[in-house]
Amino acid sequence: MSESTEKKMVRLRSSDGEVFEVEESVAKVAKTLQDMLEEDCADAVIPITCVRAPILTKVIDYCKDQVMISSSSSTTNNPNERTEQERKAWGQKFMEGVDSSTLCELLVASNFLNIEGLLNLGVDKMVSMIQGKYPQEIRDMFNVVNDFTPEEEEEIRNQNAWAFERDPYYKKRSSSK
């Protein structure tokens, strides 16, 4: 078997120990992996220490798609080439049904692996998810603890009362326990 005709494969290990085998071109969509592979400092199996298997699966899906688009982009009339609108629609579809905790993990993964396109998709998705939300929804979504006293919270809300409209989640707390 001659090595040159075979596509070079790269193995990635997720934080929970699952090993994925992907083509080198797919792995190289991630700038972090590209640097490692080009500097030849990649181990036989590259540990992706902060990314769980289900998230890595999604990341690899994204990278495969990027390779598919760019593979024939040198030729004119590339059937895979997308218009701005199609790209937008594809991005929305790719992010469809992703919940907030998965999205957080995807953001961490794409930042760690340095995949700008995926990071941007994630950021846009997060923006659309939280845009119209009320403070309590944000706290629930991201496990943030409300560390204001009732008086402080009310004061901040009063500074821009118009922005809260009728907040269904807000009940005036009393300061005495």
Which residues are near other proteins by CB under 8 A? 31-32, 35-36, 46-47, 49, 101, 104-105, 107-108, 111-114, 116, 119-120, 123-124, 126-127, 130-135, 138-139, 142-148, 153, 156-157, 159-160, 162-164
Helix (H) or strand (E) holding 19: strand 19-23
Nearest approach in angstroms of CB 108 to other proteins is 7
Query: Considering only CA atoms, which of 35, 33, 38 is closest in space to residue 22?
Result: 33
Distance separating the N- and C-terminal Cα atoms of the chain: 76
Q: How far is the CB of 17 from other proteins (least distance, A)?
A: 17
Residue 13 contacts residue 45 (beta carbons within 8 Å): yes
Q: How far is the CB of 15 from other proteins (least distance, A)?
A: 12
In the complex with other proteins, the residue whose CB is nearer, 72 or 138, is 138
Sequence-ordered alpha helix ranges (H) in the chain: 24-27, 31-38, 53-71, 84-95, 100-113, 116-130, 135-142, 150-159
Lookup: tokens for 36: 């490692």
Residue closer to other proteins by CB (options 21, 116) is 116
Tell the smallest beta-carbon distance from residue 129 to other proteins (Å): 9
User: Which tokens belong to 6?
Assistant: 């075979």
CB of 10 to other proteins, least distance (A): 14
Q: Which is nearer to other proteins, 79 or 132 (CB)?
A: 132
Residue 5 exposed, middle or buried by CB count within 10 Å (0-12, 13-18, 19+): exposed
Q: Which is nearer to other proteins, 46 or 56 (CB)?
A: 46
Nearer to other proteins, 54 or 80 (CB): 54
